[in-house]
Structure 1
C-alpha cells in the first residue's frame, strides 16, 4: 500500500462482494488521498466496475468497510451488527461519490442543461435559477456551450458523455467515479472526453477511473491499481506498472494491448 499523508478521502478495507456463488471481490484494501487520481485496470470480470458501484452503494457489498471522509458508506454499525442506511442517508452519501457511466445514462426527455440541473436541485437543494447557472458553467467548461438545450438524441456519444461528466462534477462530489467512460464511444470521440477528464485531474479533483485506455492511465493517474481475480494485485505509480512490471499476470494483460495496437 502506498501511504497517503492525510486521512484518505476514501478508505476501503477488506471489501467483499458475491453474486450468488461467484465471489467478485475477495478482500479489497484501497486508500485514496485527496486530489489523487487512481486508474483501475485489469481483465474483464476482475471486479473493477463492481468496486466502483460498491463505493457509491449502487451495489450492496457483503463484507468489509468503505468510508468516504470517515463516513461508512451504505451501512451504519448498530449494536447488533450493521444495518443498511435509509434511502435519504444513502442519497446524501451518493452525492459525495458521483459516478459517470459507460452508457451515459442521461434522461432522454431532458435537455443537456436539465440533465445537469436535476441533481443540483434534488441533491444539493439549489433553486432552478441557480441550478441553471451552475449547469451552464459546467457545460461551457466541457465544450458544450452551443448544446445547452439539445436533447441527448441530438448529441454525439462524446457530447453525451461530456454532459454526463458535467452532471457529476456540478454537484461538487468528494470523489468522481468514472466507469469505462470511453468504451461505448467511437474511437474518434474518445479524445474529446479524455481531455475533459485530464483538465479535471489537473485541478486536483479526487478520481477513481476504470479504464482500458492504457496511455491515458499512464499520463493522468497518480497510481495505477491492477485488479486480478477479485483482489488488488498491484498498486503503484504508472511508471512502475507500465515500465517495470514483474507480475506475470499484469505483463500478460498489458501485452494484449500492445498486440492490439500493433495490429491496427
Structure 2
C-alpha cells in the first residue's frame, strides 16, 4: 500500500458490505478506504470474493447490505433511506468514473488497439473521432505500444493486450482504477511489462484498487 496524505479524504469508502449468491455468503461486512493517489492491494486465494468486491465497487454486481461511496456519492443505490437501485443512465455515468481492467483482457477482437480505446471515448465521453484517436495514441505511447495502434488483439501478445486494456481504462479519465487479477492470464515472462505500467501509473498519482493472489506482484505494485 502506497503512502497518501493524511489530510486527503478517502476517495473510495466501503462500509460493512455483504454479498451472497443464494446460500453462499461471498462478502461479509467488508470495510476499506482508498485515499486519493493511493494504491491498495487485496490479496487472497481464488474464490475468496476479491473479484466480487471489485464488481460491487463499480456495480457490475449489486450488494446486499452496507454502502460503497466514491467521492462521497453512494454507488448503485439512491440515497433516499431505502435500497432503491439507480437508473441505468445514472449507473452508466457512475461506472464511467471507475476504470476496470479485467484478467481476461476483454478487448473487442474486430477493433484495433486504438479502436478499443476510442470506443468508450466516442460513445461515453462523446469525444470526436479525431480527439479520441489523439487520446488513444497518447495512452498507447504511455504503455509502450505506440507502434501497435493499428494492430488487432490477435496480433498482440498477452502482455500487450493487457497493456491495451489498461490504456483503455485510464484513457476514460476515471477517478479510480480497479485491477482484477491482471497478471493471472499471463505467462511469467510477461508479468514484468504489465507491472511496469502499474508502477508508472502509481507514480503519476493514479488511485488504484487491485486484487491478486500473487504476493510478489502485490508487494511490487503497492
TM over 0.5: yes
Q: SS where residue 17 of structure 1 aligns?
A: strand
**Alignment counterpart, residue 10 of structure 1, candidates 9, 12, 17:** 12
Partner Cα distance (1:135, 1:65) in 2: 34
1:251 alignment counterpart:
none
Match of 1:119 in 2: 120
Is contact 1:76–1:82 with CA below 8 Å preserved after alignment?
yes
Matched residues in 2 for 1:94 and 1:151: separation? 26
Structure 1 outlier segments of 4+, above 6 Å: none
Structure-1 separation of matches of 2:11 and 2:79 = 20
Residue 77 of structure 1, CA deviation:
2.6
Partners of 2:46 and 2:213 within 8 A in 1: no
Residue 75 of structure 1 corresponds to 77
Instruction: Give, in angstroms, the shift of residue 220 of structure 1.
Output: 2.9
Aligned length: 219
Contact 2:195–2:221 (CA under 8 A) maintained in structure 1: no
Q: Which residue of 2 aligns with 1:257?
A: none
2:170 corresponds in structure 1 to 169
Q: Distance in 2 between matches of 1:153 and 1:86?
A: 36
What 5-or-longer segments of structure 2 have no aligned partner? none
User: Matched residue of 1:124: which SS?
Assistant: coil
Distance in structure 2 (CA, Å) of the matches to 1:163 and 1:218: 23
> Which whole-Å CA distance do the structure 1 matches of 2:20 and 2:5 have between them?
29
Contact 1:14 1:27 in 2 (8 A): yes
Instruction: Tell me the equivalent position of 1:96.
Output: 97
RMSD of equivalent CA atoms: 1.4
Q: Provide the residue aligned with 2:156 in structure 1.
A: 155
Deviations 1:3-24, CA, capped at 9 Å, x for gaps? 9532210011110100010010
For structure 1, the 5+ residue unaligned runs are 222-264
Separation in 2, partners of 1:71, 1:77: 9
Shift of 1:172: 0.8
Distance, in Å, in 1 between the alignment partners of 2:207 and 2:140 is 20
Residues of 2 paired with 1:148 and 1:168: CA distance?
Answer: 16
1:143 aligns with 2:144: yes
Report the structure number with the largest CA radius of gyration: 1
Superposition pairs of residues 1-264 of structure 1, within 5 angstroms: 4-78=6-80, 81-221=82-222
Query: Structure 2 vs 1, CA of residues 103 and 208 (structure 1 numbering), >3 Å: closer, same or farther?
Result: same
CA contact (8 A) 1:139 1:163 kept: yes
